[in-house]
Amino acid sequence: MAGIKLENLIKSYGDTRILHGIDADIADGEMIVVVGPSGCGKSTLLRMVAGLEAVTAGRILIGERVVNDLEPSQRDIAMVFQNYALYPHMTVRQNMAYGLKIRGMSRAEIARRVDEAADILELRPYLDRKPRQLSGGQRQRVAMGRAIVRHPQVFLFDEPLSNLDAKLRVQMRLEIRKLQRRLGVTSIYVTHDQVEAMTLGDRLMVLNKGVVEQFGSPIELYERP
Ligand code: ADP
Ligand code: ADP
C-alpha cells in the first residue's frame, strides 16, 4: 500500500502554463476527488500521475518512489476511463484477463484474480458475454474489474461515470466508493460533477485554472464555501 505525494507539480504546453504548482499529500487508502470546471487541468493532472503526460517541473511520489521518469506500466497504477475501453470482440473474462496476460502472468494466477474480481463486482454470470450483451452499469463494472485484477497500489478514475444515465450514475458512485473502501486502494477521482465530488471524496481538491483553490474534507469545504 502507498500514499501519493505531489510536490509543486507544474505543467506547461509551450509557453502556456496549465498547472501552476500543485501540492498534495494523499494518505495510504485515501480517496481524493479533483473537481473543477472543464479545462481547469484535472485530466492533465491525472495523466501525469499515470505517466501518460510528462511533468514539466515538480515531483510525483507513489509510496517512497519518485515516479516522474517511470513508464506507466512501472507505476503500479490502474486507470478507469469514461469510455470503458473494453475490447468488443473479447468476452468479459478475456477483457479482464488481457492486461495480466500481456504482462506474462501465469494462467492459474490470472484465472484466480479474474474470479476474485468477478465475485467482488458480481460479474460471475456474465463472464462469457461480450460487452455489447451487457448493460451500461455492467460494462462499467467490467472496466473496474480490469483495474482490480492488477492489484494496483493506486486507482485513477477519469470521469468514469459520465456516460451513464443519472440513476445509474448514483448507483455506480456508491458501488465505487464501497469498493474503494473495501480494497483500501489509494485513489484519485476526477470529475466536473460537484455532487459526485462531495459524495465520493475523503477530501476534495478544488481546481480552477490550474490552481488549487481549496483542499479539504467535504464538511470543511461546506462550512467554509
Ligand atoms: P480538464 O480535464 O479539467 O477539462 P484538461 O486537463 O483536459 O482539463 O486541460 C487543461 C488545459 O490544458 C485546457 O486548456 C486544454 O486546452 C489544455 N491542453 C490539454 N492538453 C493539451 C495539449 N496536448 N496541448 C496543449 N494544450 C493542452
Ligand atoms: P493495459 O492497459 O492492458 O494494462 P498497457 O501496458 O498497454 O496494458 O497499459 C499501458 C498503460 O495504460 C498502463 O500501464 C496504465 O498506466 C495505463 N492504463 C490505463 N488503464 C488502464 C487500465 N484499466 N488498466 C490498466 N492500465 C491502464
Per-residue pLDDT tens, the chain, 225 aa: give them. 799 999 999 999 999 999 999 999 999 999 999 999 999 999 999 999 999 999 999 999 999 999 999 999 899 999 988 777 899 999 999 999 999 999 899 999 999 999 999 998 999 999 999 999 999 889 989 999 999 999 999 999 999 888 888 888 898 899 899 889 999 999 999 999 999 999 999 999 999 999 999 999 999 988 765
Output the CA 42–ligand 2 centroid distance in Å: 19
What's the rounded Cα separation, in Å, for the pair 155 and 2? 11
Which among 92, 51, 171 is positioned nearest to 179, based on CA atoms? 171
Q: What is the pLDDT of residue 128?
A: 98
Q: What is the pLDDT of residue 30?
A: 97
Pocket of ligand 1, beta carbon within 6 A: 13, 18, 36, 38-44
What's the rounded Cα separation, in Å, for the pair 23 and 199? 23
| 3-class SS of residue 19 | strand
Output the CA 38–ligand 1 centroid distance in Å: 9
| 3-class SS of residue 106 | coil
Residue owning the nearest CA to atom 18 of ligand 2: 79
Q: What is the pLDDT of residue 65?
A: 95
Query: Distances from the Cα of 131 to the Cαs of 89, 112, 127, 163, 180, in angstroms?
Result: 8, 21, 10, 15, 24
Residue 189's Cβ-count burial label (10 Å; 0-12, 13-18, 19+) is buried
What are the φ and ψ backbone dihedral angles of 155, each rounded to 5 degrees?
A: -105, 135
Q: Which atom of ligand 1 is nearest to the CA of 11?
A: 12
What's the rounded Cα separation, in Å, for the pair 172 and 190? 15
Which spans in 67-165 are helix H?
Answer: 92-101, 107-120, 136-148
CB 128 within 8 A of CB 101: no
Q: What is the pLDDT of residue 222?
A: 81
Q: What is the pLDDT of residue 162?
A: 85
Q: Cell numbers 475501453 label which residue?
A: 85
Proximal ligand: closest to the CA of 155: 2
Residue owning the nearest CA to atom 4 of ligand 2: 99
Proximal ligand: closest to the CA of 101: 2
CB 198 within 8 A of CB 191: no
Q: Which atom of ligand 2 is nearest to the CA of 99?
A: 3
The residues with which 34 forms a beta bridge, in sequence order, are 190, 205
